[in-house]
């Protein structure tokens, strides 16, 4: 439970109303009750503030007269997200270490851990303070996991992986499996290229359920600080994803891809090997990135092209049947084609 004064400070909003009012939870505008904080998600809610039962409503400037407590923020959605974190965020559970934990020789465990049933940790690992490992987690040899990280059920972390602090990895993810690398032999059989590198995930990343992040052939597959991956994403060997980039579900990065800082990669995007996507680029859903993308570009289509060019080409594509009919009529009139 927080006072409204506390919430205002946490979400960086200006308070109009009772600073001592107590807030228990966050709820949507229509469902909010006393003790809740909500936000005006669209302009239509501005005229209904007095009908809302929430103890407080987050709105955008300017402030207005209302019988409700108001929190005014430049970005109400961002402020509401911070309120959700403050009231419902993951908190260290302090459940201790399950008696069936299996650890290898030389492994060092931090303090105040929550390690639940059927967890296995390999040799020479380092597990930081307040780490939470949920049932069925398997961690290979020589891994490092930073403070306050959370690894959910049935995640597999292969040997030599480095995971930073405050990282969240959701259920079923596989971190550090071999990259997909084979060379045809003289007889046509595939010869495996052994993958001798590792995966490194920096602080404050979040990895969605059932993602696969492959170890590097040599060196590292790297997710830099603050990267957020949705569910079911493939990161190929030796790829690198820059700080605070977000990637939506079912995207696949081929080996050696380089993605810059603060990019937005939409769902079902695929890339060629060794391409570079510049800082701040946006790639629309289902795009196929076959060449390098400049910083700040907005790309769409397969092969991916600048968004405006793609839109023009889509308009022309929709006109092709009519254009074909016109050309046929012109050819008939010119005697270049017989009328059917």
Residues with active-site annotation: 237
CA distance 83 to 15: 14
Sign of the alpha-carbon dihedral angle for 267, 272, 274, 280: negative
Other CB atoms within a 10 A radius of the CB of residue 316 amount to: 9
CA distance 122 to 78: 40
User: d(Cα 4, Cα 23) in Å, to the nearest integer?
Assistant: 6
- Are 35 and 56 contacting, i.e. CB atoms less than 8 angstroms apart? no
Residue 250 is encoded by which pair of tokens? 């079912």
- Return left, alpha or beta for 29; rule: phi > 0 is left, psi -120 to 50 is alpha, else beta: alpha
**Where does 48-107 show beta strands of DSSP type E?**
56-59, 69-72, 96-97, 102-103
CA atoms within 13 A on the CB side of 150: 15
Pick the closest to residue 157 from 220, 96, 200 (CA basis).
200
CA atoms of 167 and 172, how far apart (whole Å): 15
For residues 156 and 134, is the Cβ–Cβ distance under 8 A? no
Residue 319: exposed, middle, or buried by beta-carbon count in 10 A (0-12, 13-18, 19+)?
A: exposed
For residue 139, the SS3 value is: strand
Residue with tokens 């602080």: 203
- Computed on alpha carbons and rounded to an integer, the radius of gyration of the chain in Å comes to 26
């Amino acid at each position: 439970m927080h006072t409204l004064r506390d919430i205002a400070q946490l979400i960086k909003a200006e308070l109009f109303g009772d600073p001592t009012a107590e807030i228990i939870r966050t709820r949507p505008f229509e469902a909010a009750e006393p003790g809740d904080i909500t936000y005006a998600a669209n302009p239509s809610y501005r005229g209904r503030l007095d009908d809302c039962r929430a103890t407080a409503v987050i709105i955008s400037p300017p402030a207005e007269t209302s019988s409700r407590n108001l929190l005014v923020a430049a970005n109400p959605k961002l402020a509401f997200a911070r309120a959700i974190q403050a009231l419902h965020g993951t908190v260290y559970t302090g459940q201790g270490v399950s008696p069936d934990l299996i650890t290898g020789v030389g492994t060092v465990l931090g303090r105040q851990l929550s390690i639940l049933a059927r967890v296995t940790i390999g040799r020479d690992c380092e597990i930081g303070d307040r780490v939470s490992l949920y049932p069925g987690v398997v961690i290979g040899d020589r891994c490092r996991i930073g403070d306050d990280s959370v690894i959910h059920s049935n995640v597999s972390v292969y040997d030599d992986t480095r995971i930073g602090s405050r990282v969240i990895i959701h259920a079923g993810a596989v971190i550090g499996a071999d990259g997909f690398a084979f060379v045809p032999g003289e007889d046509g059989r595939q010869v495996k290229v052994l993958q001798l590198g590792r995966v490194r995930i920096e602080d404050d990343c979040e990895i969605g359920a059932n993602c696969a992040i492959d170890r590097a052939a040599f060196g590292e597959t790297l997710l830099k600080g603050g990267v957020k991956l949705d569910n079911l994403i493939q990161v190929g060997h030796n790829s690198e994803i820059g700080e605070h980039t977000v990637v939506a579900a079912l995207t696949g990065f081929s080996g050696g891809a380089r993605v810059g800082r603060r990019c937005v990669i939409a769902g079902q995007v695929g890339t060629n090997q060794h391409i570079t996507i510049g800082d701040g680029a946006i790639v629309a859903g289902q795009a196929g990135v076959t060449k390098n993308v400049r910083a700040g570009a907005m790309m769409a289509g397969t092969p991916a092209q600048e968004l405006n060019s793609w839109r023009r080409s889509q308009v022309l594509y929709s006109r092709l049947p009519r254009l074909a009919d016109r050309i046929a009529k012109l050819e008939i009139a010119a005697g270049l084609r017989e009328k059917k």
